[in-house]
């Protein structure tokens, strides 16, 4: 039972290059989230999904795209990377069901991305 995994763990890109970050979960959770974490700014929500085939914008969506073609996977894409996208990216999932552990988010280990 791997929980939430992220691929890759580290990546260095040149300005203008593209890449895709993969988040995979085996918890059968409906909701998945992508965040970025920058020093002094906490976690900021980029995009999220409330189910297979759905996506929604978060607080800082510009420059990113996402897709949720399968329930267990949530992809984050950078079409043309910029130095301002240098950050640590976290994926998280939650079951979205009211109960004792309602909306607790389970986080992946993070991906450190550097854009030069």
Partner 1 sequence: AQTVTQSQPEMSVQEAETVTLSCTYDTSESDYYLFWYKQPPSRQMILVIRQEAYKQQNATENRFSVNFQKAAKSFSLKISDSQLGDAAMYFCAYRIENNDMRFGAGTRLTVKP
- Residues interacting with partner 1, by CB under 8 A? 31, 33, 35, 40-45, 48, 50, 56, 58-59, 88, 90, 92, 96, 102-105, 107, 109-110
DSSP 26: S
CB of 41 to partner 1, least distance (A): 6
| Nearest residue (CB) to partner 1, 17 versus 107 | 107
Q: Please spell the DSSP secondary structure of 56-91, one letter per residue.
A: EE-SS-TT-EEE-SSTTEEEEEESS--GGG-EEEEE
CB atoms within 10 A of CB 34: 26
| Nearest residue (CB) to partner 1, 32 versus 115 | 32
Provide the pairing of β-strand 31-38 with 56-57.
unpaired
Rg (alpha carbons) of the chain, rounded to whole number: 14
| Nearest residue (CB) to partner 1, 59 versus 79 | 59
CB of 116 to partner 1, least distance (A): 22
CB of 57 to partner 1, least distance (A): 9
């Amino acid at each position: 039972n791997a929980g939430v995994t992220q691929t890759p763990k580290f990546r260095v890109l040149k300005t203008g290059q593209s890449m895709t970050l993969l988040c995979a979960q085996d918890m059968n959770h409906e909701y998945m989230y992508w965040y970025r974490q920058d020093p002094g700014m906490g976690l900021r929500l980029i995009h999220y999904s409330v189910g297979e085939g759905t996506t929604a914008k978060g607080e800082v969506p510009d420059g990113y795209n996402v897709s949720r073609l399968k329930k267990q996977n949530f992809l984050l894409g950078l079409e043309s990377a910029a130095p301002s996208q240098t950050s640590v990216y976290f994926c998280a999932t939650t079951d979205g069901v009211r109960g004792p552990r309602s909306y607790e988010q389970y986080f992946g280990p993070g991906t450190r991305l550097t854009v030069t």
